[in-house]
Every structure is written in C-alpha cells, then in structure tokens.
Structure 1
Amino acid sequence: MIKLNVPDMTCGHCEAAIRKAVKSVDPSADVRVDLPARTVEVRGEAGPDDLRAAIAAEGYVTEAA
C-alpha cells in the first residue's frame, strides 16, 4: 500500500481528479481517499513515483504520508 498526503485536495472535484490520475497508471488499483485528512491510499501495481507523477499532472503536489 502507498499512502500519500495531498495538501491541496479540498473538494469532491479534487478527489475525482486524483482517482482518475491513479487509475490512468493502474486501472485495477484500489484507491481510498480521505478528503478531511487529505490523504490517498493506493493498493495496486504502480510504484510511488508513477503515482506522484500522474497526480502532479493533474496539478496536485504530493507528500509521503
């Protein structure tokens, strides 16, 4: 499992964009978003660098949790 902090994730649109980004690199990933905590947990095959790059492409900065 990879857990990332996404400090700029503040709304449902942000959550949807981040889910879409993760699924773009790992379509079968299990993505769990905790909007109040601003964290994303991903269980899947993609590595953390690929996930961070995909999320960054959507305009969000990530930090290791």
Structure 2
Amino acid sequence: MQFHIENMTCGGCVRGVTKAIRSVDPSAEVAADIPTHKVDVTSARPAEAFLPALAGAGFEAVPV
C-alpha cells in the first residue's frame, strides 16, 4: 500500500513515520521517498489501521 504524506520533508520525518507505522505492525516494511512525499508499506494490516497512528505522530497520511 502507499500513502502520500505532504509534511514528510526530512530524514527525521521518515523516522517518525516509520515508528508510527511499526507501532501498528512491528514487522511492516517501510520505504519512504522524501521528494515525492510517498511511503510504501508492506503489511498484512489494512491501510486504514495506520492512519490514526500516523495522525497521532503529526503526519496526515492519504492512502494512494
């Protein structure tokens, strides 16, 4: 699945996004692309499961 996170602009943001995603699924694979603000997540959990954790970390994510 993929998310667009407009306010992900640096490596610190990527760490925060990754931490939020892994708080929901510790085994999730996360690949972020800062210039496009896209995050690819490989997980058995549905995309909607990650949205509250990302919002709580300050990242408004939009499933793509």
Task: Tell me which interval the TM-score lies in, with the shorter structure as reference length.
Answer: over 0.9
Deviations 1:8-53 (A, max 9, x none): 1011111000000001110111111011110111111221111111
Q: Percent identity?
A: 33
Instruction: State how far apart, in whole Å, the 1-side matches of 2:54 and 2:43 are.
Output: 15
State the secondary structure of the residue aligned to 2:2. Answer: strand
- Structural RMSD (CA): 0.8
- Aligned-partner residue type, residue 12 of structure 1: G
Q: Spell out the pairing of 1:8-47 with structure 2 (5 A cutoff).
A: 8-47=7-46
Cα distance in 1 for residues equivalent to 2:30 and 2:56: 17
Name the TM-score, length of structure 1 as normaliser: 0.91
Counterpart of 1:64, as a letter, is P
TM-score when normalising by structure 2: 0.92
Structure 1 residue ranges (4+ consecutive) displaced by more than 2 angstroms after TM superposition: none
Structure 1 spans left out of the alignment, 5+ residues = none
Distance in 1 of aligned mates of 2:63 and 2:43: 17
